[in-house]
Chains A and B, each alone.
Chain A
Amino acid sequence: EVQLLESGGGLVQPGGSLRLSCAASGFTFSSYAMSWLRQAPGKGLEWVSTISGSGDNTFFADSVKGRFTISRDNSKNTLYLQMSSLRAEDTAVYYCAKNQVNIWGSPHDYWGQGTLVTVSS
């Protein structure tokens, strides 16, 4: 059974930093691209970033480019999102999700339960 478990969310001040983690199990982690997506309170889903199975290729939404970094440790089956220069508009539930292919070009077929990030003074 595929399981994705996010952690690391919390309250952070504007301009601050936070690192999210996602522990994966139930599939060959290194064979699939992985993504972070988010959902602001009462709003729809928004893609944030994707990393290829090897970690060699990364992709970012324009809204986070230059502020967020995505990485993975395939030896630990763990995905990360390093967020810096956080803004109020980054407040959202952040979801880790599995892609259906190794590099790029597919929807997501498994989602974690989400972790809430609140950016506020």
Chain B
Amino acid sequence: QPVLTQSSSASASLGSSVKLTCTLSSGHSRYIIAWHQQQPGKAPRFLMNLEGGGSYSKGSGVPDRFSGSSSGADRSLTISNLQFEDEADYYCETWDINTQVFGGGTKLTVL
């Protein structure tokens, strides 16, 4: 089954951009993933589906500041013009036969 690897933490300044990356394990580099945001004390929120070719489709109401890109086994989420409300945990998700898999999550701090 696929394994998703994420950095445990990231930080960036208010108004800047940040790129969070989720890396698929060997043999799974073509898998589609999803990105979810979880603000402190809240339920997760779906942000987007992201394909291996870099195409992405965002969920309802997700701001234009959020975009996706892919390179090989890496699936990245870029947040532009960072806002304090973007401070959250970000999880990637994928699936295989009979299992759904999540990355360990990246805690984003907005400075």
Contacts and interface: CB of A to CB of B under 8 A. Distances in A.
Given A45-B105, A61-B99, A111 B46 contact: yes
Per DSSP, chain B at the interface is strand
A61 B100 CA distance: 8
Interface string A26-53: 0000000001010000001111001000
Interface string B74-111: 00000000000000010101110011111111000000
B104 A44 contact: yes
A8 interface: no
Given A45-B44, A95-B44, A114-B43, A108 B34 contact: yes
Contact of A47 (B33, B45, B100, B104): B100
A46 B105 CA distance: 11
Contacts of A46: 102
Nearest to A6: B43
Interface in A63-104: 95, 100, 104
Interface residues of B, number: 24
Contacts of B43: 95, 111-114
B45 A105 contact: no
Contacts of B49: 100, 107
A13 interface: no
Nearest to A97: B44
Contacts of A95: 43-44
Given A47-B102, A95-B43, A113-B43, A108 B93 contact: yes
Interface string B7-41: 00000000000000000000000001110101000
19 contacts: A35-B100, A44-B102, A45-B44, A45-B93, A45-B102, A47-B102, A59-B98, A59-B99, A100-B49, A104-B98, A105-B95, A107-B33, A107-B49, A108-B34, A108-B46, A109-B34, A109-B59, A110-B46, A114-B43
